[in-house]
Structure 1
Amino acid sequence: MSDPNFDDAPDDDLPRPPSKSQLKRDMHALLDLGKQLIDLSTDQLKRLPLSDRLYDAILLAQRTNAREGRRRQVHYVGKLMRDVDAEAIRQQLETWAHGSRQQTAHMHRLEAIRDRLIDDDEMLTKLLNDYPSTDITRLRTLIREARKEAKANTQLLQGQSPQRKHYRALFQALKTLIDEPEST
């Protein structure tokens, strides 16, 4: 007879713990992330959500030259990585490595505005309407100098490098004028 309080059927509704292999893969992924952190500069490390203990361990690993000592310190960093938000760190590293799509789109937009300012005076009027606090004199000077630069670059001989000083300065002025859209 079967006991009504005991159920022999497996309960598929309960979540299963991760397998041993999955745990090992996760630990190796954290170790690899820790290795990436060890290769970062101090300024970059300060901008990441790291505990003081992990931050100190990373700095020690950066200073350790002995092969075995460094290996042990890297593994210690990997162990400390278990207590941090690894996904936030991965996202920040990805952004630093490739830039966010939003940042890239913003830079392309600024480049297009710069090119239109050099080619068309009406774009300056539109820009001044959108950003009335703009230093008009400085912007007009940059546009005029960028146009001169572009004209001089069309007359270069083969092998000569084009001048881009004012072209870049105009871009930087637009970059400070037009704020990057906030991340959503």
Structure 2
Amino acid sequence: MRGTDEESGEYLGPSRSQQRREALDVLALAGTLADLAPGQLAKLPVPEHLLPHIAEARRITSHIAKKRQLAFLAKHMRREDDDVLDAIRDGLDAGGEAARQETALLHRAERWRERLLDEGDAALAELLADHPQADRQQLRQLARNALEERKRNKPPRAYRELFREIRDLLGTGDAGDADIAQADDIDG
């Protein structure tokens, strides 16, 4: 029986079985991190001092050596606070907060793209009011090219490029909260 001793009030700590389960969870997390592509890993809140160990585990191909390196990585990860490990797990979780924010950003960019194509200069003026650092001429040109592609049934190159520009603009802008509030007004 673990927890607090009823007679002396002394904290006894988690059982060995619980410690082992936690260590195996961290080992599984280390294996998951080692299997990620570098782009996916860059999006996670992984501490800088763990990145060389992850890169080394990715580089090793021998089964036993890789297993040993993963155990070494897990050892370093167990030294981290639970908050850091929880943040990494949340970043990996498809339903986590980071994934929800990314999805919301993509939806806002999609709505802005459709507004730019449907409403034209009125929507562009509103977008530029929220994000004054945007390149007006480039956005207008991409919207014009995307409309032309639609008319001629051409591949949607400018349509995709317009989306990327808007996504980058919304992702770096300080007006993200205003976009969320506006999206809530539109949706609800």
Same structural fold, with TM-score higher than 0.5 when normalized by the shorter chain: yes
Contact 1:49 1:89 in 2 (8 A): no
Q: Are 2:90 and 1:116 aligned?
A: no
Q: Which amino acid aligns with 2:162?
A: L
Q: Which of 47, 50, 74 lines up with 1:49 in the alignment?
A: 47
1:12–1:166 Cα change, 3 Å: farther
Q: Does 1:74 align with 2:66?
A: no
Q: Is residue 2:171 matched to residue 1:172?
A: no
Change (3 A) 1:96 1:150: farther
Partner AA of 1:10 in structure 2: E
Work out whether residues 26 and 78 of structure 2, in 8 Å CA contact, stay in contact via their aligned partners in 1: yes
Counterparts of 1:60 and 1:173, CA distance in 2: 35
Structure 2: stretches of 5+ with no match in the other structure: 178-188
Distance 1:32 1:103 in 2: 25
1:39 CA drift (Å): 2.2
Equivalent position SS for 1:129: helix
RMSD: 3.3
Looking at secondary structure, tell me which structure has more helix per residue.
2
- Alpha-carbon distance between aligned partners in 2 of 1:18 and 1:66, rounded to the nearest angstrom: 35
CA distance in 1, matches of 2:139, 2:103: 23
User: Which amino acid is the alignment partner of residue 147 of structure 2?
Assistant: R
Number of residue pairs matched?
A: 164
Give yes or no for contact 2:105–2:167 (8 Å, CA) kept in 1: no
Asked whether the 8 Å contact 1:38–1:62 carries over to 2, the reply is yes
Contact 2:45–2:88, Cα closer than 8 Å, also in 1: no
Deviation track 1:21-63 (CA, whole Å, cap 9, x = no partner) reads 1111011111111212322456737972153xx5554444334
Alpha-carbon distance change, 18 to 163 in structure 1, aligned in 2, over 3 angstroms: same
Query: More relative contact order in 1 or in 2 (CA 8 Å, sep 6+)?
Result: 1
- C-alpha change, 1:109 and 1:68, in structure 2 (3 Å) is closer
Q: Distance in 2 between matches of 1:78 and 1:68?
A: 15
Say whether residues 1:20 and 2:22 are aligned partners.
Answer: no
Question: Hey, what's the Cα distance between the residues in 2 that align with 1:142 and 1:56?
Answer: 41
Q: In structure 1, list runs of 5 or more residues that go unmatched.
A: 1-8, 154-161
Identity over aligned residues, as a percent?
31
